[in-house]
Structure formats: C-alpha cells, structure tokens
C-alpha cells in the first residue's frame, strides 16, 4: 500500500526507479566518486565534497511502500555490499520494524549492531536527489544508517577506527 502518489516518469531512468518501488518497495541509488569519469573535469571545478568524495547509497520509495523514512549509508564500500545492507534493513521494515533516530539493530550485520542517525533537510535535498524527486520536492524523512568499526564503535564515538562516515546532521 502506497502512502502518496508517486511522480510520473519522464525518462527510462525514472521509469526504472518507479518500477522498482512498485515491485520491491524501494529503489537503491549508489553514488560513487569514480562512477562517471567523463565528469572528472566538471567535478574538479567544484573542488572536494565531504560526502560525494566518499560515496553514498540511499533508498527511494520507502515512504510510499512502507510509510518509513528513507535510508542512506555514507560509505566507500562497493555498491553491491551497500545494497545488501539496505536490503536487509528493508526486509526488517517489511516484517514490521520501524526505525527512528538513535535506534540500533543487531539484525542487519553479523555480530555487530547498526545505528540510525538523523539527516538534516539540507543534506536530504542535496544528496538524496531521487528521494526528493519521488517526494515531489516536498519534505521527507530520512535516516543515516551508521556502521560500526570492528570493535563496535560508531562514527560519533570516541575511539571509532573505521572508514569515514561523516554525519549528515
């Protein structure tokens, strides 16, 4: 059951996003710094970016299919791995879970919990562009999925020794 009306597709990429939302309950977008080498010159003109230079993966459609906030992971990991993590959380949501800021779940990764953090409206608009499109440019909720280091420390914890995961607050 969808919470709101989805936008109309204007090109094949939009159509794929909408089809995935209707079929799977979400579409995953993976933005990686090396994904479009033909844009390297344009990117260099803008200079370093604290998130896009690492990479981000995010969902599109959860507010419509499950009345749940969108999810995002800031990570340099392979898109396939990030997709698997997002998919694991979506399956929990499909089974009735509902996550909010500061929640933790031990059901996503083996032997480690994940934490859910806030994403500011400014970062939602700048980074989650397809989620913003799906929301028809109206405000939408989104959570950052924070991954711990091998010792279980999260990015905001003293002693965190994992890969960069800038907080999107």
Bigger pLDDT: 51 vs 44: 51
Average pLDDT, whole number, for the chain? 94
Q: Are 26 and 65 in contact (CB under 8 A)?
A: yes
> What pLDDT, in 10s, does the model give residues 82-109?
999 999 999 999 999 999 999 999 999 9
Q: Which residue has the tokens 């905001």?
A: 156
Rounded to whole angstroms, how far apart are CA atoms 59 and 128?
8
Rounded to whole angstroms, how far apart are CA atoms 142 and 137?
14
Give percent of the chain with pLDDT exceeding 90. 87
User: Looking at residue 4, what is its pLDDT?
Assistant: 66
User: Looking at residue 69, what is its pLDDT?
Assistant: 98
Residues comprising the chain, all counted: 169
Residue 38 in this model has a pLDDT that exceeds 80: no
Residue 3 in this model has a pLDDT that exceeds 70: no
Residue 2 in this model has a pLDDT that exceeds 70: no
Residue 1 in this model has a pLDDT that exceeds 50: no
Bigger pLDDT: 45 vs 43: 45
DSSP 103-145: -EESSSSSSS-EEEEE--HHHHHHH-HHHHHHTTTS---EEEE
> What pLDDT, in 10s, does the model give residues 102-154?
999 999 999 999 999 999 999 999 999 999 999 999 999 999 999 999 999 99
Question: What residues does each domain of the chain span?
Answer: 12-34+48-146
User: Looking at residue 44, what is its pLDDT?
Assistant: 78
């Amino acid at each position: 059951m969808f919470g709101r009306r989805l936008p109309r597709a204007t090109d094949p990429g939009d159509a794929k996003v909408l089809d995935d939302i209707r079929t799977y309950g979400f579409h995953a977008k993976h933005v990686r710094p090396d994904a479009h080498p033909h844009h390297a010159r344009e990117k260099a003109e803008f200079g370093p970016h604290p998130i896009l230079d690492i990479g981000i993966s995010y969902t599109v459609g959860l507010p419509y299919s499950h009345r749940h906030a969108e999810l995002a992971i800031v990570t340099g990991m392979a898109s396939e791995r990030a997709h698997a993590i997002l998919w694991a959380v979506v399956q929990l949501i499909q089974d009735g879970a509902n996550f909010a800021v500061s929640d933790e779940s031990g059901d996503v990764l083996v032997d480690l919990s994940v934490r859910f953090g806030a994403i500011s409206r400014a970062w939602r608009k700048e980074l989650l562009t397809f989620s913003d499109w799906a929301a028809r440019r109206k405000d939408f909720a989104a959570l950052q999925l924070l991954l711990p280091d091998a010792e279980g420390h999260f990015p905001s914890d003293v002693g965190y020794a994992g890969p960069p995961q800038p907080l999107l607050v």
